Structures are given as C-alpha cells and as structure tokens.
C-alpha cells in the first residue's frame, strides 16, 4: 500500500472511530440523602420540578402504608421528601392532564397535582407487581407493566384492561412513543408497533432493565436497577454508567429532553443524581 492510500485509510478509520464514539453522562448534582428509597423519577417540564416515588418501608412489595411521593427542584434541592403520603410501595409514574399516575403494587394511585393529594385509586384485577408507567398523550391512555404477572395493562378513562401479555420474562420499563410501544424486558429492549407486532431492538443489557427514555430518532436511554445505564442507538447499545461496584443502584430514570439531563434514583442510597447526556 502506498503512502497516500495508507494516509487515506487512516483518515477513514479515524473518522469512523470518531462517529462510533458513544455518548457519556457527566454528573451535575446529587440531592441530599433525605429521600426514602427512591425508585422512580419523573421530570415535569411545565411544573419545573421532579417527582420521586419513595418506596420506604422494609420491603419493595409490602403493603405497609409507608410509601410516598417526593418533590425535588431542578437545582437538586429537595422541596418535600414526602409531598404526598398514603401509598404502599410506589414505583413508576406518568403525568397527564394535571394528574400524576403512580403504580402501587396492585393498583394505580391518581394524584391531583394542584391539590397535592390522592384523587382516586384504580384497582387492577390480577395485578401482582405493577412497576413502570407511561401515557399516550394523544389518547390519554395510561399503561403499566406487571413485572411478576408478565403483562402490560392499559387504563382508559379509569377502566383497566390487559394490553399485551405473553412472551415476557420480566417486563418492567414501558414507553409509549408515537405509534410504537417499548418494553424493557430482562435485558432486552422490545418494540411493539400499532398492530402489536413485536421486534427486539437490542438485547444483552443487564437483566435488571428498569426505565426507558427517548432521546431523539432511534436513540434511547435504558437504566438497569443493578447500577447500569445504557445508550441505545438503532440496534446497538453502549453502557454509559456503571455504579455496580459502588453498590449504587440506578432505577427508573427521568429525562429532560430539552437540556439532555438524565435523572437517576439511587434506591438504597436515598438520593437522585442528575447527569448531562453529552
């Protein structure tokens, strides 16, 4: 190979390597450790606040009336560690029409945000371990995963129904995005189209896959409870956070798409950490 071809090959290789470089998370702040086993974070752009579900209690699936929802400012200051009490072991959340929908073991708790109080509870028949929540903002339909029941439920105008079941191993994170529906299932990111046709986007992530957030186009951020966060682009995945050796969990994340901020609840560490997605 002559010198010109060698230089051209090197330039092309360098360009390809540069394009292949993955995103990274840069820490911005961490709250004080006054939250109570935070499992999920939800970013509210209009309210300029974060909602945090606190499991509290001794066990993550125990009905002990110890659960609550906290509020955290976008500067990392805890506004109220227990803004709304009276829950059992709350996990995923979704916001629509001034109502905060919270998965609470076998029911959906609906909180009136303006009043800061529980407006209603919706029992879901047969539910065992309700976990993540998402909403279709066009239709107002709310969806919640049942990790142990191996299905996804929908709630339309207060009425629950089974949306998808069968073929799951451990469905947790859910995301309604456009006409598609995404599920994080035991290390895999799965897409269902409007006809519920199933496609596996990526697999091989940590089996404790937890939260899903859309970045742009075919890019997503997926968190894993054990202490890992992945950047998914197309059919590729790259781990961009690993806190397993430090024994710091990374449960159901929140995301500020405009400012590219990922909010990570640390579960037993009792904090929320904000990272900028670079």
CATH of the domain at 141: 2.120.10.30
Residue 239 domain-assigned?
yes
Q: pLDDT (tens digit, 0 to 9) for every residue of the chain, 278 residues total? A: 554 444 444 444 443 333 445 689 999 999 999 999 999 999 999 999 999 999 998 789 999 999 999 999 999 999 999 999 999 999 999 999 999 999 999 999 999 999 999 999 999 999 999 999 999 999 999 999 999 999 999 999 999 999 999 999 999 999 999 999 999 999 999 999 999 999 999 999 999 999 999 999 999 999 999 999 999 999 999 999 999 999 999 999 999 999 999 999 999 999 999 999 99
256 - beta bridge partners?
261
Q: What are 249's two structure tokens?
A: 């969990």
User: What domain range includes position 237?
Assistant: 25-277
- Split into its structural domains, the chain has a count of 1
Contact 243, 206 (CB under 8 A): no
Residue 17 domain-assigned?
no
Residue 161 domain-assigned?
yes
Residue 9 domain-assigned?
no
- The pTM of the full predicted model, rounded to 2 decimals, is 0.92
Residue 30 domain-assigned?
yes
Residue 109 domain-assigned?
yes
Q: How far is Cα 127 from Cα 178, in angstroms, rounded to an integer? A: 26
Residue 147 domain-assigned?
yes
- Identify the three-state secondary structure at position 189: strand
CB atoms within 10 A of CB 276: 14
- What is the separation, in whole angstroms, between the first and last Cα of the chain? 38
What's the confidence (pLDDT) of residue 193? 97
Residue 13 domain-assigned?
no
Beta strands in 113-167 (DSSP E): 117-123, 130-135, 142-146, 151-156, 159-165
């Amino acid at each position: 190979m002559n010198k010109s071809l060698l230089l051209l090959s090197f330039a092309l290789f360098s360009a390809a390597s540069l394009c292949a470089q993955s995103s990274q998370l840069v820490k911005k702040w961490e709250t004080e450790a006054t939250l109570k086993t935070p499992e999920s974070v939800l970013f509210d752009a209009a309210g300029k606040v974060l909602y945090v579900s606190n499991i509290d209690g001794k066990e993550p699936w125990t009905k002990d009336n110890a659960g609550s929802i906290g509020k955290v400012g976008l500067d990392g200051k805890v506004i109220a560690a227990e803004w709304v009490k009276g829950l059992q072991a709350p996990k995923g959340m979704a916001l629509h029409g001034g109502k905060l929908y919270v998965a609470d073991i076998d029911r959906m708790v609906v909180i009136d945000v303006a009043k800061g109080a529980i407006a209603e509870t919706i029992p879901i028949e047969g539910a065992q371990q309700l976990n993540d929540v998402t909403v279709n903002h066009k239709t107002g339909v709310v969806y919640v995963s049942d990790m142990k029941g191996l299905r996804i439920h929908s709630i339309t105008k207060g009425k629950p129904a089974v949306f998808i079941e069968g073929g799951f191993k451990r469905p947790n994170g859910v995301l309604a995005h456009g006409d598609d529906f995404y599920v994080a299932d035991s290390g895999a990111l799965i897409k269902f189209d409007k006809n519920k046709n199933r496609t596996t986007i990526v697999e091989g992530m940590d089996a404790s896959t937890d939260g899903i957030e859309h970045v742009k186009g075919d890019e997503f951020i997926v968190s894993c409870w054990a202490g890992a966060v992945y950047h998914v682009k197309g059919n590729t995945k790259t781990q961009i956070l690993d806190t397993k050796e430090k024994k710091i969990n990374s449960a159901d994340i929140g995301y500020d798409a405009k400012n590219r901020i990922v909010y990570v609840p640390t579960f037993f560490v009792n904090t929320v950490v904000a990272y900028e997605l670079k």
